[in-house]
Amino acid sequence: MTTQHVEMTDKQIIKGLAIASVIAVVLSVTVILPAEYNKDPSGVGAILGLTGMSNNVQFEEMTLEPQNDFTFAQGEGEWQTHTLTLEIPDYEGVEVKALTEEGNGFSFTWETDGGELYMDMHGEVVGDTDEFTSYKKSNAISSDKGIFKAPFHGTHGWYWQNNTDSPITVTITVAGFYQSVKTLK
């Protein structure tokens, strides 16, 4: 395949630029000015139904609604920070729980050394071991982070299940207003 190179003269380039400029001016006067600015010096915008298009746009005032029940939490007690590193053997599970008063909260971040775990973030009311409330579940997750506000006085935390044939290490940091953090196996 051969490519031909066509040489353009200065006159041809100027002629092309002049034609493009005329087309741009005609489109601006007949289409853009009537549609965008409601100005129709040529009358073509009215014929094409473009006049006043920008006036027909109705904007509704939007009110942003909160997407959840999270609010500012002024914690009671001492601010604490705990970091735990746990090795979860293959086909076993482990729980980390923070005992937290209703309305208090904590931030958290956790990640594995690369493997994915089943995870259930949940809480139980103090003294009620039969009922629990799940906040978030995932069948295959390797990290998570967030801010949690306790909806009731109880233990709130994570259950991780390693469904692989190799141990997985998880490191979690919890910081906030809670009484204690403990590991359950």
What's the rounded mean pLDDT across residues 9-15?
90
Over residues 84-88, mean pLDDT:
97
pLDDT in tens, 29-80: 888 888 777 888 888 878 887 776 766 556 566 666 666 655 555 677 889 9
Q: What is the pLDDT of residue 100?
A: 93
E strands present in 47-177: 79-88, 93-100, 105-112, 117-125, 133-141, 143-149, 154-161, 168-177
Give the pLDDT score at 181: 94
3-state helix, strand, coil in the chain (%, to 5): 20, 40, 40
- pLDDT one-digit tens code per residue, 13-27: 899 899 999 998 888
CB atoms closer than 10 angstroms to residue 73: 16
> pTM of the prediction?
0.59
What the chain holds in terms of domains, given with CATH numbers, is: 10-56 (no CATH), 79-184 (2.60.120.510)
